[in-house]
Amino acid sequence: MITSSANVDSQYLFSKIVQHDESITPMHLDLPDEVDDTISLAYGDADPALFPVDALITAVDSMLTGNLDISLNYAPAYAGLVALVQERMARINIPLAHNEIMLANGSSQILSLLPQIMCDAGDVIIVEGPSFLGAVETFFNCGLTIETVPVRDDGMDLDILEATLVRLAAQGIRAKFIYTIPTFQNPTGSLMPLANRQRLVALAAQYGVLIVEDDAYGDLHFENPIPPKLIALDPKWVLYVGTFSKILAPGVRMAWACGPSEVIKRINRFKTEGSNGPFMTRLVAQVSADGWLDQHIAVLNANYAKKCQVMLETIAEAFPSDVRYNRPQGGFFVYAYLPADLPVSRLLPAAIANGVSFLPGTTCYADGQGTHEIRLAFSFQSLEKVVEGIRRLGATMHQLRQA
């Protein structure tokens, strides 16, 4: 546009929460540009080699030669997709009525809507540290007060959670929700065992705080069966968020939330674009039907398990021995803890110069922690590039120590 918007006086024009003109998240680093053959281990993208192209093409052709009006006109989300999700949840002992479930454009949408429906300015929420960077950034930008509870190998540290709840209660503060990823946590890959899950939901009920259970990786377990979902342990105080991003394709932007109808009803009211649209809901339902999705998940898990194993083996060979890291049983990520002389602020520029990148742990905290932590995604790159990327990263660590 030729004119500037100088006359639009932002202090008047906008609501209080958006007077700022930039994201206020403190966690962004200025990074050097990646070179062309940089191997990015930074983001939890799905493996494109596993996208079900033929199944999607068949589903689209079938949809568009059927009743067009129901897939291309104004129409609610396809009820069959809700039924499919209900059936999958019922199989793991989570029966859901129609008013206890909703579809969303990716689980990030639910995480963004929650502060709107649940929080007023200054409200307190409790978030794992480290956690999913998108959630942390969203909650931070909404102006919420974030209490960070550390994550151990068995998930959120429940002693610290309880101490936090006690301290808040003593101050007359009741947190609005606890955001947790109990299964193959992002970024640590940790898995919360049953006893901890039982204690967590009991604490939530005792203190009257809703748990938001982000289960993005819940189907991606490599071997052992996983403990029950939190929502199966206490449907009153858990809002569960699931997604097709990891088990079908992120690009379809399809997720669901389920839990107390009082919460679902209000999220739906603030889901600004209305339904997910008839086209994508039918496409996802059609391609997932008749057991196809379960077969596909089995294929994914075999693949991701292999890539995880190879990443761990290569780390064992390539990294300095004082770098600690987790051994996830599922999900997309290995999380590593760096020694004191290798902060991410030093490692990341050198790594990018050597043709490999990763996610700095600092992006996974609301409070500036994570300066010596890195997330390595084995999900996206090919086996060969996982190996080469880890070797480059290990070589970078050794180089920095010799410098």
Instruction: Give residues 31-90 in contact with a copy of itself (rule: CB under 8 A).
Output: 43-46, 48, 51, 53, 56-57, 60-61, 64-65, 68-69, 71-75
Query: Does residue 13 bind a copy of itself (CB under 8 A)?
Result: yes
Alpha-carbon span 207 to 310, nearest angstrom: 43
Q: Which residues pair with 360 in a beta bridge?
A: 374
Alpha-carbon span 85 to 75, nearest angstrom: 19
Q: Which residues pair with 255 in a beta bridge?
A: 104, 243
Residues numbered 156 to 185 that lie near a copy of itself (CB under 8 A) are 174, 176
Residues 347, 339 contacting (CB under 8 angstroms): no
Residues numbered 226 to 265 that lie near a copy of itself (CB under 8 A) are 235-237, 245, 249-253, 260-263, 265
Q: How far is the CB of 138 from a copy of itself (least distance, A)?
A: 8
Alpha-carbon span 283 to 280, nearest angstrom: 5
Residues numbered 314 to 353 that lie near a copy of itself (CB under 8 A) are none
Query: Does residue 108 bind a copy of itself (CB under 8 A)?
Result: yes
Q: Which residues pair with 129 in a beta bridge?
A: 150
Query: Does residue 94 bind a copy of itself (CB under 8 A)?
Result: yes
Query: Does residue 11 bind a copy of itself (CB under 8 A)?
Result: no
Q: How buried is residue 74: exposed, middle or buried, by Cβ count under 10 Å (0-12/13-18/19+)?
A: exposed
Q: How far is the CB of 344 from a copy of itself (least distance, A)?
A: 22
Nearer to a copy of itself, 44 or 218 (CB): 44
Residues numbered 260 to 299 that lie near a copy of itself (CB under 8 A) are 260-263, 265-266, 269-274, 276-280
Q: How far is the CB of 23 from a copy of itself (least distance, A)?
A: 7
In sequence order, what DSSP letters do the residues of 187-230 get, joined into one string?
TT-----HHHHHHHHHHHHHHT-EEEEE-TTTT-BSSS--PPPH
Query: Does residue 97 bind a copy of itself (CB under 8 A)?
Result: yes
Residues 182, 192 contacting (CB under 8 angstroms): yes
Q: Which residue in 41, 42, 119, 334 binds a copy of itself (CB under 8 A)?
A: 119
